[in-house]
Amino acid sequence: MEAKRKPHHFSSENLRFISYCPLCEASYNPLRARILEERDDAHLVHIQCAKCGSSIVALILSSTVGITSVGLITDLTGDDVLHFKDSKKVTADNVLELHNFIYPSSVTSLV
C-alpha cells in the first residue's frame, strides 16, 4: 500500500496525546509537529521539544472508538525517520560482519 499525505485530515486536536515533552515536561507547540506519513486513519508524527531538543516519533491512530497514540523518545530527525523507516532489517549476520570489521583480530577460524 502506498503512503498518502493528507495533512488536512489531521488536526491539532489529535496532538493532545503528545502535548508535552516526556523529558523536560515543556509544552509542545502543535504547529511544530511534522506529519511524516499518513495512511487511512494512522499518522506518523515527529515533534521536537523547543526547550530541551529531544524528539518523539508518535503513531496516532483514529477510529470510531477514539484516538490511540504510541510514542517513542528519539534523537532522530523527521528526515532520519523517513530514511530508516523503509530500510532493510539489520540481521545477525550484519552485526557479526560489523564486529569482525571493527575487531579483525578477534575472528577465529572454526576449521
**Residue-range domain boundaries for the chain:** 7-106
Cβ-contact 70, 58 below 8 angstroms: yes
Residue 13: pLDDT over 60: no
**Structure pTM?**
0.65
- Looking at residue 107, what is its pLDDT? 59
Confidence band, pLDDT 50/70/90 cuts, at residue 37: very high
Residue 93: pLDDT over 90: yes
Average pLDDT over every residue of 39-51: 91
- Find which of 16-20, 83-87, 107-111 is predicted with most confidence, using mean pLDDT: 83-87
Cβ-contact 23, 49 below 8 angstroms: yes
CA atoms within 13 A of residue 3's CA, in its CB half-sphere: 12
The three cell numbers of residue 24 are: 523536560
Residue 69: pLDDT over 90: no
- 28-62 burial code (b ≥16 CB/10 A, e <16): beeeebbbbbbeeeebbbbbbbeeeebbbbbebeb
- Looking at residue 84, what is its pLDDT? 87
Provide the terminal-to-terminal Cα distance of the chain, rounded to the nearest Å.
Answer: 47
Residue 66: pLDDT over 60: yes
- State CA 59 to chain mean position distance: 8
